[in-house]
Amino acid sequence: MTHSLIQASTTLSLKGKNAFITGAASGLGKRIAELYADAGANIVIADLKLQDAQATADAIAKKGVKTLAVAMDVSSEQAVDEGFAQAQKSLGAVDILVSNAGIQIVAPIEEFSFASWKKLLAVHLDGGFLTSRAAVRQMIASGRGGAIIFMGSVHSKEASRLKAPYVTAKHGLEGLAKVIAKEGAAHNIRSNVICPGFVRTPLVEKQIPEQAKELGISEADVIKTVMLKDTVDGEFTTVDDVAQAALTFAAWPSNALTGQSLVVSHGWFMQ
């Protein structure tokens, strides 16, 4: 049974801040966008398809904040730079980036195609670089600084079978976050990573049958013996758990909290 866990809440304020969230039409990004809006931030929803981004932006606009939907493939330099320019024109400089867009591809390394390897690294690593570079440029130019948040994973810390490029990319994001923490300090730019355990978003729902097939076990066993095996209580992490961590990183007012990663995983990984 899944216990009701955290009800993400907004005692922290983001009033008047502009938050740019990638992959925000679904899953974790969407819930972070909702919570940031509840905390008073204006929201840019960036995702692959404009219609998906627009639907989320329209729903969030009902909370009384400004929203903008942007169609963007985060692995395209042109699309990222144009999307950030559009956001700046519409809302002003970005104060918070959540670099969250991601995909998963599972296969044993001996069967992994080079094309799949490159595709996954492009979304996670090129996307992390391109979006954080664009955000940092606006944060320096505005003189306000800001918060960069990367969506890492327990796979930023641990390996799992079948996930060579994902584990590689999520480890890499920790390095990028630390460099930006050092370079950004003089501009009041903080940079951190959230490392969730398994959350039942579309990305994970898709993996359950895929892993069952690859490992030759039932879907129930994928959940029990692969995904939640090392948690302290056999529970999934929730979108609210992760959104609450994202709000804390966004609202933290000083460089005291920078260059860090926070693992939100029911104890799957302990620092």
Q: Which residues are catalytic?
A: 166
Q: How far is the CB of 111 from ligand NAD (least distance, A)?
A: 21
Residue 142's H or E segment, with its range, is helix 127-142
First-to-last C-alpha distance (Å) of the chain? 27
Nearer to ligand NAD, 140 or 170 (CB): 170
Residue 48's H or E segment, with its range, is none
Residues near ligand NAD, by CB under 6 A: 22-23, 25-29, 47-48, 72-75, 100-103, 123, 151, 153, 196, 198-199, 201-204
Distance CA 264, CA 249 (A): 13
Nearer to ligand NAD, 28 or 35 (CB): 28
Q: How far is the CB of 26 from ligand NAD (least distance, A)?
A: 3
Distance CA 219, CA 179 (A): 39
Distance CA 252, CA 53 (A): 27
Is 14 strand, coil or helix? coil
Block residue for tokens 């990004």:
29
For 60-73, b/e burial (b = at least 16 CB within 10 A) is: bbebebbbbbbbbb
Block residue for tokens 């042109």:
78
Q: Which two tokens stand for residue 234?
A: 């056999």
Q: How far is the CB of 232 from ligand NAD (least distance, A)?
A: 17
Distance CA 269, CA 262 (A): 10
Q: How far is the CB of 90 from ligand NAD (least distance, A)?
A: 18
Strands 96-99 and 18-22: parallel
Nearer to ligand NAD, 165 or 196 (CB): 196
Q: How far is the CB of 70 from ligand NAD (least distance, A)?
A: 10
Nearer to ligand NAD, 141 or 232 (CB): 232
Distance CA 225, CA 209 (A): 14
Nearer to ligand NAD, 93 or 101 (CB): 101
